[in-house]
Structure 1
C-alpha cells in the first residue's frame, strides 16, 4: 500500500499550468475553431476543479485528527 502523503501541487500540475498559458495565448480562436476552443476550456476547467477539490480534501484531512490519513498527511508517519 502506498503511504505517501498527498501533495497540493504536483509536477503534472505544473505541466498543465504551462499548457494552459500556451493555450490561452496562442490556441484559442472562437471565430475559426469554436468547438476546439470550448473543449480546451472545458478540459482546463476540469483540471482546475480537481486541483481545488484536492486541496479542500487535504485541508479536511489535516484538520480532522480522527481521519485515517491524518497522521500520514501531517508528516508524523504511521504507528507500527
Structure 2
C-alpha cells in the first residue's frame, strides 16, 4: 500500500525545535568544539534529507507514469 509522502511532518517539526534550542543554548565552540561540530553535522544531514525528500516529491508529482503518482494510485485497492 502506497501512502502519500508528506513534505513536512511531525518529526521535522521536532527536529526544527531541537535545532533552535541547540543554536541558542548548546553550541560552544570554545569549550566543546567536537560536540558542537557533531550537532551541526546531525542537523545538516537532516536538512539535506529534507531537501532531497522535497525534490523526490516534485519528481513524483510531475511524472504521471510514476508508480506513486496520484493517477496511478486511484485505481488500486486500498487496504
| Equivalenced residues, count | 76
The structure 1 segments of at least 4 consecutive aligned residues displaced by more than 6 Å after TM superposition are none
TM-score normalised according to structure 2 size: 0.90
Quote the offset at 1:53 in angstroms: 0.4
The secondary structure found in structure 2 opposite 1:69 is coil
* Corresponding position: 1:78 with 2:74: yes
CA distance in 2, matches of 1:77, 1:58: 15
Root-mean-square deviation (CA, aligned residues, Å) is 1.5
CA distance in 1, matches of 2:3, 2:52: 19
- Determine the structure 1 residue equivalent to 2:8: 9
The secondary structure found in structure 1 opposite 2:21 is helix
Q: Which runs of 5+ in 1 are unaligned?
A: none
